[in-house]
A and B are shown apart, each in its own frame.
Chain A
């Protein structure tokens, strides 16, 4: 059963190029999940190095308010 399912999974993965929305959207969701973690890591790193919200927002290509709204409530400073 396990081997059969695994080969089916590989087939599903290969079907991504067939523009199947089921798989394509799942791939985008996985990408978003990855990006959010990487962004949180980089923003925390920038804040730890003394960057202002304005500077961070400029690099991310969003407004200062947007980045502040998203990250200001977070528990930064896990290193301390």
Chain B
């Protein structure tokens, strides 16, 4: 089982922070690029820097994509939306966990959001869970590469590899289903969204084939 390294965890945290900074209520591959650069202390960041991509430029480019409607503009968080209705999400989370326990709440969240026949009573997401991570394919490609290289952990370099591989690989048809479309719509993503990392990197003037080769070279080095 391939696990994310400490640096990869930190990169994901920073990517989440970047997404929140833009008022995005999901985590996409485009935020991972920003997370890698914000982390800085990794080979992937060095590769991106060698392509002229720094954090400020990447943020500006993502801002341009938001202006063009490729990614959503800033949206209020679930906590802010519920507060506008007079509901304190933090208080509800606290009291339900005190009454039923974290395990029971986790179970109820899975039950309310999991696939079921005819979708009765199903919601694409719930405010009681973190914003959705739409980087499943990135993690899949990163894990596959780690296995191929005989690595036990996925670092930021492999995450960047995953982003590039995701861009250059057609997504499986199973990724396009009603539940996913509902999930995307619920966070304000345009129909047909499948990650904005390609447009972000193109906006930054990065040649994807060269980036792929540079990341592959970097992966020959040390995984942090």
Q: Contacts of B89 on A, CB cut-off 8 Å?
A: 34
With A and B bound together, what is the CA distance between A30 and B129 in angstroms?
11
Chain B nearest CB from A64 CB (Å) reads 15
Contact with B along A12-28 (1 / 0, CB 8 A): 11001100000100110
A12, A23, A37, A75: which contacts B128 (Cβ < 8 A)?
A37
Q: Contacts of B145 on A, CB cut-off 8 Å?
A: none
Q: B80: nearest residue on chain A (CB-CB)?
A: A13
Q: B83: nearest residue on chain A (CB-CB)?
A: A13
Main secondary structure of the interface of B (DSSP, over half): helix
B4 at the A/B interface (Cβ < 8 Å)? Answer: no
Stretch at the interface among B96-104, B135-143, B193-201, B207-215: B96-104
Chain B nearest CB from A33 CB (Å) reads 4
A73 at the A/B interface (Cβ < 8 Å)? Answer: yes
With A and B bound together, what is the CA distance between A70 and B111 in angstroms?
11
Q: Contacts of A40 on B, CB cut-off 8 Å?
A: 108, 111-112
A-B pairs with beta carbons under 8 Å apart, 25 shown: A1-B22, A1-B59, A1-B63, A5-B23, A6-B21, A16-B84, A23-B81, A26-B81, A27-B85, A30-B81, A31-B85, A31-B87, A32-B123, A33-B78, A33-B112, A33-B124, A34-B92, A34-B127, A36-B126, A38-B108, A39-B121, A40-B111, A41-B104, A44-B104, A79-B104
